[in-house]
Amino acid sequence: MFAAYAAHTDFAHPLDGLELGERPAPAPRPGWTTVTVKAASLNHHDLWSLRGVGLSQDKLPMILGCDAAGVDEDGNEVVVHSVIGGGDHGTEPRSILTEHHQGTFAERVTVPASNVLPKPAELSFEEAACLPTAWLTAYRMLFTNAGVRPGDSVLVQGAGGGVATAAIALGSAAGLRVYATSRDAGKRARAVELGAVEAYEPGARLPHRVDAVIETVGAATWSHSVKCLRRGGTLVISGATSGDRPDHAELTRIFFLELRVVGSTMGSRAELEDLLSFCALRGVRPVIDEVLPLDRAREGFEKMAAGGLFGKVVLTV
């Protein structure tokens, strides 16, 4: 079957290891099911895999891709939850597709049967394929780990990225007052179109301190994120695209104002089910930057690596 896969890894030049070509079709496995992929979306996790982060040499070649929507063995339209193992699948260690198991950038993917959820009819395959990683991460950050409620205020750092875009759209739809930042004026305008009350340049002073901050940028925005929180507020972090060593950790402010710092990774099957229902019922749709056929996957990777995206790149099979 045709697939996009990591043939080797290179931290400095990750795209050098990306190959497009034939790979073995997944073999049947007890308790697992095979999904015929209709659409899959790119995540920064795929670039990190090509760098060798979370992907060991003994697992190569590895088909990339965490997210997918398609058709199961019984002809049902489904969405794949990409977190494998942990509490839901016995003793197998918790991982994400492409770390230990072949991913979704292929004609077919095999996952535990419990990792397949019904796709709402209201969502297209392309839209549904955007949800299981970036959008699920944003959903968990907002509603599980930040614990915000309608009327609360949230700052989303780095508008344009997949998680940040999702957080703006989901937060706005849930009745939050969302503020956003971006270095790019066009992305700031798009953030407001998505529902942000206002979008600012990084480091700008907000009209008031917020209840929560959604942080995926890391070192470059960390100090600003901490300073924007009200007393007792919550900073939720799920990534550090600018590095994980900020110049100013703001430890005094964190303990003096009794701030909460919460790490967040992906989300549970139940949270993905809730997210799918929320999007279907509230009319929320993922922001898609571009849809490409799988054989043009390299173009999508190059665009993501260059940082020119607003929303998701989706690959169709």
266 three-state secondary structure: coil
List pLDDT tens digits, range 83-136: 998 654 444 568 899 999 999 999 999 999 999 999 999 999 999 999 999 999
Q: Rounded distance, CA 124 to CA 248, Å?
A: 44
**126 Cβ contact partners less than 8 Å away, ≥ 6 residues apart:** 39, 69, 288, 291, 314, 316
Give the pLDDT of residue 92: 56
List pLDDT tens digits, range 130-178: 999 999 999 999 999 999 999 999 999 999 888 999 999 999 999 999 9
Left (φ > 0), alpha (ψ -120 to 50) or beta: where does 99 sit?
A: alpha
Give the pLDDT of residue 300: 96
Considering the chain, what percentage of its residues have pLDDT values greater than 70?
97
List pLDDT tens digits, range 216-266: 999 999 999 999 999 999 999 998 888 899 999 999 999 999 999 999 999
Residue 2 contacts residue 20 (beta carbons within 8 Å): yes
Best CA proximity match to 40, nearest among 110, 111, 107, 96: 107
Residue 250: both structure tokens together: 């703001």
Helix (H) or strand (E) holding 292: strand 288-293
Give the pLDDT of residue 311: 86
Rounded to two decimals, the pTM is 0.92
Best CA proximity match to 3, nearest among 79, 81, 110, 76: 110
Give the pLDDT of residue 91: 47
Best CA proximity match to 181, nearest among 262, 242, 249: 242
Q: Rounded distance, CA 240 to CA 22, Å?
A: 34
Rounded to a whole number, what is the largest CA-CA distance in the chain? 57
List pLDDT tens digits, range 63-81: 999 999 999 999 999 999 9
Q: Check the CA dihedral 245-208-153-155 and report its sign.
A: negative
Question: How many helices (H) and strands (E) would you count in the chain?
Answer: 9, 18
Residue 250 contacts residue 256 (beta carbons within 8 Å): no
Mean pLDDT over the full length of the chain: 94
- pLDDT at residue 22 greater than cutoff 90: yes
Give the pLDDT of residue 87: 53
